[in-house]
Structure 1
Amino acid sequence: MTDPASIDPAEKPANLSNPRRAFIKKTGKKLVRKIAGFQSAQSKVPDTPKLDNAHFPWLSEFTDNWEAIRKEAQAVLAFRDDIPAFHELSPDQYRLSTAKNWKTYILYGFGQRMETNTQLTPVTADILSRVPHIQTAMFSILAPGYHIPAHKGVTKGILRSHLGLIIPKDREQCRIRVDDTITAWKEGEIFVFDDTYEHEVWNETDEERVILLFDFDRPMKLPGRVLNKTFLQIMKFTAFYQDPKKNLASAEEKMEAAIRQADANIEAMSDPADT
């Protein structure tokens, strides 16, 4: 299994070497560091690597319905070959996602529900619609033996949640480190963390791991909310937003075709004229 940390720089997608893109990325990182302190001061919840679920009482709807959500994830896995790898949607993630080792089935992208993909996940999509200020949601599918190297998220204005759905039997070997806290996923359990703290993932088992991953706005005071909204709006004018947006549209078209074909196959098998 390839460790992303060992990727040859020559494998970097050519469009990511654009000098203008590199300048925007470098400038953006400086801006993010400058505003992080303000976002922390504006936060209504602790600025810690992991956060207590008690701060988000609406999470209980996920744990109450996790088996229904898992059933929908299993339905999605029937289209495994049509689910894109993370870096196929977001090319900037090429160091974290290699080959088909980390697949992502997107349900919400940039605050918008993916209408085609959620055809297969009505229960999950309905629950996600009640997450306050949801940004992104996906079924995150990690291959056996894969390691996602240490990295940090973009902004403190967003928090991330993981709900365990399909977890290897040896679950202690399938885990995430956020700062100095290590958590092994468990089916039906959910937790929230701040992905601007360094984090990495291991699946040191011979089984696949599937979770529901979703991002939502950090609860903040009014000035913090205004800054967060402005920052996210600015991001929409960059390639870091535009590239994934285009790739998401293409992935949805491919999935829609796969769903139509599957429906046609089922209809053909059930047609009395064919028996």
Structure 2
Amino acid sequence: MRFGKYMQPKTNRWIANSAKLGDPPVYDTAVFPWVKELEAHWETIRAEAAAALQDLEKVPPLATISPDHRRIAPAGRWRSFFLIGYRYRDEANCAKCPKTTELVERIVPGINSAFFSILVPGTHIPPHTGVTKAFLTCHLGIQVPREREKCRMRVVDQWVHWTEGKALIFDDCYNHEVLNETDETRIVLLIQFKRPVGIIGKIVGGLFLEGVRRSRFVQDARKGIAQWSAERVGQ
């Protein structure tokens, strides 16, 4: 972890310099061909999410399963239903959402993680930055509060909103925060996918991601998910 934190700014500079689509905070989704297919099947994804998320109390809070997120994840208010996390599949969850899993696994040049991200009413995720520029983040709007202006995300100095059935792509290494100031729950399909880069970016980003994948940051979260699932079965 210490070595990763030391190398993080250096690897991010190398990856950014190798990026084929520049290094903006927020991207035009039109430059990613796979977005159209994802949006075209959003109602199927929504149906699978509705079935899988019927009881949100059975969906683990991120702060519970990942100690590293406790600083920014309000207790019980930001929940995550993982399909894939750092390329580790949750087979039970994937089986509940087969079409969603199939769609995200077809994304080119490949995904790192995919999960339904749930923000309950009144949630504020404070300003923070992500782990690495090796991937970009896509949010597909699944359930968006009617008062869209009160449910929003700031990326650097730009405020963006979600729309059901539409994708939003940004670089989470830029400072960002999220607010849901409505009385409705917000749900997005969150996908971390590999940033299109040249050969230097592929080598550096691939090595860094593999290190993160094997680190305590990810392994503790995997143990947390397994423990949460075991406790739910035992109840």
Q: Give the structure-2-normalised TM-score.
A: 0.94
Give the corresponding residue for 2:138.
161
Q: List per-residue Cα deviations over 1:44-72 (Å, max 9, x = no partner).
A: 11200011112211111111011111111
Where do 1:98-137 residues align within 5 Å?
98-132=74-108, 133-137=110-114
What one-letter code is carried by the residue in structure 1 that aligns with 2:147?
Answer: D
Identity of aligned residues (%): 40
Report deviation, 1:79: 3.1
Give the corresponding residue for 1:58.
34
Relative contact order, CA 8 A, sep 6+: which one is greater? Answer: 2
Which of 86, 97, 101 is matched with 2:73 structurally?
Answer: 97
1:224 equivalent in alignment to 2:188:
no
Q: List per-residue Cα deviations over 1:201-255 (Å, max 9, x = no partner).
A: 0101011101100101111111210111111222234211220122233345456
1:171 equivalent in alignment to 2:148:
yes
- Structure 2: how far apart are the matches of 1:238 and 1:64? 36
Q: List per-residue Cα deviations over 1:82-104 (Å, max 9, x = no partner).
A: 11001122110001112210010
- Structure 1: how far apart are the matches of 2:213 and 2:85? 12
Q: List per-residue Cα deviations over 1:158-209 (Å, max 9, x = no partner).
A: 1000011111111111001111111111111101100000000010101110
Structure with greater proportional helix content: 1
Give the conservation status (yes or no) of the 8 Å contact 1:150–1:199.
yes
Report deviation, 1:148: 0.4
Q: Which runs of 5+ in 2 are unaligned?
A: none
Q: 1:77 to 1:180 in 2, by over 3 A?
A: same
The structure with the larger Rg is 1
1:147 equivalent in alignment to 2:124:
yes
What one-letter code is carried by the residue in structure 1 that aligns with 2:191?
Answer: F
SS of structure 1 residue aligned to 2:142? strand
Q: Which runs of 5+ in 1 are unaligned?
A: 1-23, 262-275
Give the corresponding residue for 2:64.
88
Q: Give the structure-1-normalised TM-score.
A: 0.81
1:192 equivalent in alignment to 2:169:
yes
